[in-house]
């Protein structure tokens, strides 16, 4: 993952090491009351029969062109902030920019408040060639405002809390690597003044530790934590005889790829710090396909980095992880019998261990594609590595890692939808993850449910992995490159795939122009629909397939309201809930039903609100009858109401306007209705 946001992130390809809490993000100006599952992209006169809209394709910017666009955005940041109705104390900092052939510019901003970084305040602004702002995608819709910038607790208390959290992960550090700094935390709930503390050292498995802990500067409560080292396990099977790009100086050859941003590969020789020694020798034949030659692992790592670079360049026009033409670097032979590999934003580098007994270096296409894609995510959406956004972060690496494997077209490691299929970390010959049916690994989610964000991110990633497989290949039994798949759907209805190439384009455009640090699955659906609409048209088969694939993993509805064996009606428009104030409502109009509502009417509720016990939630029928879904509870301090209630509404006529009514009955905590859905079996 890369250092694009004000913090670093982490990730393992295995489940074992990181847990987190859920964050939720909303794509502003695209959410709307939706019953059919369509996002509010502008309709088109006719579908483009599967061809990409050329105007929506990103230009290949030179580093100087990109730098100039960022300079222009920063020069106009005060005007942009005013246009976005940001507060007087808020400022924007342009972090990235993408320009389409039709002149549309997608500018990604970080935000500050009175000079302090706002974590969770990032946003993307889409500007048309005319200069008109078309869309804004915000990580938070909350107003950034705090009563005081003076902490009530000492920084030492925040550091102690962070050290305690790091100790639980195995770190033996007695001091923070980065002393607590004041920030505004806007990742969830009401923005508050907070401390961010970073603790280093090593985790219990030998992985470097970069634990970020957010502490409320007024109460001392821990608000959030995430890892800054993204780790993973790749194939220990090598890629056969491949061509490497190296550099010759006199009679010496080095693993220095001048064709790909000067990517270099180093030998750590079982060390755990520093860069190591650049691989160099007097001939240009590297390794002998066994661990008896240290250069074998170097050759695999160098090859994996090259294929990943080429995949991004030739598939999306992206020049390197940061899209600035600069290569990362790789380090092999990390530690002693280290059974993992990781991406580190700090060094902008990939690091590989040698596996159990130092017998199988974890250097292959899977690990290179997956881990280096974490760097791309960090330099674009910056998805928080926890909760649903963390699952999307992991899935993005699985998706693009799979893309790298298919792109390489290597006969020794053919493309498939299995993650880590070449290694046997479980000791039973099975892959780490299955994209066609994620639950086959024993822990991943096939479909979305209200608690999916509480899973480890390698398990919650299953929802997006399954979506991507269905969008690419469709449901049901099939054989691809000799591997058998049989992908189910949560609603029992079939999905027709549009092909992996189109699915990759849709996911990449959503990641780079729609997603923010707090994007959750509902917002990911909105973002991918918007991306599909821009690329292929909102009346296209590709747009419909995105709707169907998300519905098949229980995110949103199928076109026309179908799904789940019945009909769903949904409202995704945000409704702010006033603090200790009057009740607010969100409406859904049901039509096309006959007779009364069922005895098991499903009411799926997604409310973002700190201290959820403050809330009373009711379903109001068309005739005004009230069905209480959730009562007030002064002792329930957990965040958010994200669950599905079953209501016996058989005495109510089905057709008409139903309302979700929410009232906050205590002070100090705020939030909003993110979405809700009625499903008639």
pLDDT tens sequence across 23-71: 122 121 112 222 222 233 333 434 456 788 999 999 988 888 999 999 9
CB atoms within 10 A of CB 331: 25
In terms of C-beta density within 10 A (0-12 exposed, 13-18 middle, 19 or more buried), how is residue 132 classed? exposed
Give residue 27's pLDDT.
20
Helix, strand, coil share (%) of the chain residues, nearest 5: 25, 30, 45
Q: For residue 458, indicate whether it is catalytic.
A: yes
The residue with tokens 């494997």 is 405
Give residue 214's pLDDT.
94
Query: Is residue 185 within 8 Å of 119, Cβ to Cβ?
Result: yes
Domains of the chain by start residue, with CATH: 54-138 (3.10.450.490), 155-231 (3.10.450.40), 238-363 (3.10.170.10), 574-680 (2.60.120.260)
Name the pairing type of β-strands 483-487 and 222-227.
unpaired
Gap between the Cα atoms of 315 and 502, Å rounded: 10
Q: For residue 106, indicate whether it is catalytic.
A: no
In terms of C-beta density within 10 A (0-12 exposed, 13-18 middle, 19 or more buried), how is residue 414 classed? middle
**The tokens of 593 are what?**
């039903």
Which of 90, 196, 371, 405 is catalytic? The answer is: 371
Give residue 71's pLDDT.
94
Give residue 238's pLDDT.
57
Of 563, 405, 393, the residue nearest 489 (C-alpha): 563
String of DSSP letters for 60-109:
---HHHHHHHHHHHHHTHHHHHHHTT--TTEEEEEEEEEEBTTS-EEEEE
Which of 12, 370, 458, 609 is catalytic? The answer is: 458
The residue with tokens 């079939």 is 494
DSSP character at residue 597: P
Q: Output phi, psi for 83, to 5 deg.
A: -65, -30
Gap between the Cα atoms of 660 and 677, Å rounded: 9
Contacts of 16 (CB under 8 A, 6+ apart): 205
Which residue positions in the chain have pLDDT lower than 50? 1-47, 232-237, 562-565
Query: Is residue 552 within 8 Å of 496, Cβ to Cβ?
Result: no
- Crossing angle between the packed helical segments 462-473 and 541-551, to the nearest 10 degrees: 140
Residue 450, strand partner residues: none
Which element (helix H / strand E) includes 348?
none
Which element (helix H / strand E) includes 119?
strand 116-127
Give residue 424's pLDDT.
65
Q: Output phi, psi for 649, to 5 deg.
A: -110, 30
String of DSSP letters for 617-633:
EEEE-TTS-EEEEE---
Of 241, 205, 227, the residue nearest 343 (C-alpha): 227
Give residue 250's pLDDT.
79
Q: How far is CA 623 from CA 317, 651, 680, in A?
A: 56, 10, 18
DSSP character at residue 56: G
Query: Is residue 213 within 8 Å of 161, Cβ to Cβ?
Result: yes
């Amino acid at each position: 993952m890369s250092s694009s946001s004000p913090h670093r992130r982490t990730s393992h390809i295995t489940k074992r090491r990181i847990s987190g809490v859920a964050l939720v993000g909303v794509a502003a100006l695209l959410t709307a009351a939706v019953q059919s599952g369509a996002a509010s992209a502008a309709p088109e006169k006719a579908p483009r029969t599967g061809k990409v809209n050329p105007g929506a394709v990103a230009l290949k910017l030179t580093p100087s062109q990109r730098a100039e666009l960022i300079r222009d955005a920063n020069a106009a940041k005060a005007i942009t902030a005013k246009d976005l109705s940001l507060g007087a104390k808020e400022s924007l900092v342009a972090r990235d920019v993408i320009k389409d052939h039709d002149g549309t510019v997608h500018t990604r901003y970080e935000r500050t408040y009175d000079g302090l970084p706002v974590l969770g305040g990032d946003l993307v602004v889409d500007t048309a060639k005319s200069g008109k702002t078309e869309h804004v995608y915000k990580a938070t819709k909350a107003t950034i405002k705090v009563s005081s910038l003076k902490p009530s607790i000492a920084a030492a208390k925040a550091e102690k809390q962070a050290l305690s959290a790091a100790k639980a992960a195995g770190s033996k550090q007695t001091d923070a690597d980065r002393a607590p700094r004041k920030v505004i935390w806007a990742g969830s709930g009401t923005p508050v003044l907070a401390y961010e503390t970073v603790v280093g050292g090593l985790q219990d498995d030998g992985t470097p530790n970069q634990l970020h802990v957010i502490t409320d500067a007024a109460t001392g409560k821990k608000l959030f934590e995430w890892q800054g080292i993204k780790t993973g396990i790749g194939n220990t099977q090598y890629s056969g005889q491949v061509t490497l790009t190296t550099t010759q100086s006199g009679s010496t050859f080095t693993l220095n790829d001048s064709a790909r941003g000067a990517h270099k590969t180093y030998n750590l020789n079982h060390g755990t710090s520093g860069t190591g020694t650049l691989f160099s020798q007097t001939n240009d034949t590297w390794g002998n396909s066994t661990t008896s030659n240290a250069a074998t692992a170097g050759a695999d790592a160098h090859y994996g980095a090259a294929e990943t670079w080429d995949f991004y360049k030739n598939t999306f026009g992206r020049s390197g992880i940061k899209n600035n033409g600069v290569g990362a670097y790789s380090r092999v032979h990390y530690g002693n019998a280290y059974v993992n590999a990781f991406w580190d934003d700090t060094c902008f580098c990939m690091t590989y261990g040698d596996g159990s007994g130092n017998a199988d270096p974890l250097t292959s296409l899977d690990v290179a594609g997956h881990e280096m894609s974490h760097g791309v995510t960090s330099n674009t959406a910056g998805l928080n590595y926890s909760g649903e956004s963390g699952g999307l972060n992991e899935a993005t690496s699985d998706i693009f890692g799979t893309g790298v494997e298919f792109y390489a077209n290597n006969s020794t490691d053919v493309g498939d939808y299995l993650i880590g299929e070449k290694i046997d970390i479980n000791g039973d010959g099975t892959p780490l993850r299955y994209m066609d049916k994620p639950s086959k690994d024993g822990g991943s989610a096939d479909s979305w449910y209200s608690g999916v964000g509480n899973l480890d991110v390698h398990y919650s990633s299953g929802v997006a992995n399954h979506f991507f497989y269905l969008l690419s290949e469709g449901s049901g039994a099939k054989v691809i490159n000799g591997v058998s798949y049989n992908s189910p759907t949560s609603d029992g209805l079939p999905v027709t795939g549009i092909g992996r190439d189109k699915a990759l384009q849709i996911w990449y455009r959503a990641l780079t122009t729609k997603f923010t640090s707090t994007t959750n699955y509902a917002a990911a659906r909105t973002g991918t629909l918007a991306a599909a609409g821009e690329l292929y048209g909102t009346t296209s088969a590709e747009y419909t397939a995105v709707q169907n694939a998300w519905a098949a993993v229980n995110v949103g509805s199928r076109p026309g309201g179908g799904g789940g064996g019945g009909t769903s009606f949904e409202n995704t428009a945000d409704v702010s809930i006033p603090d200790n104030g009057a009740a607010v409502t969100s409406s859904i109009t049901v039509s096309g039903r006959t007779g009364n509502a069922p005895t098991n009417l499903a009411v799926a509720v997604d409310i973002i609100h700190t201290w959820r016990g403050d809330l009373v939630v009711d379903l109001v029928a068309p005739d005004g009858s009230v069905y209480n879904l959730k009562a007030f509870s002064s002792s329930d301090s957990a965040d958010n109401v994200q669950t599905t209630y079953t209501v016996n509404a058989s005495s109510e006529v089905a057709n008409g306007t139903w309302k979700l009514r929410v009232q906050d009955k205590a002070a100090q905590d705020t939030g909003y209705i993110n979405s809700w859905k009625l499903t008639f079996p």
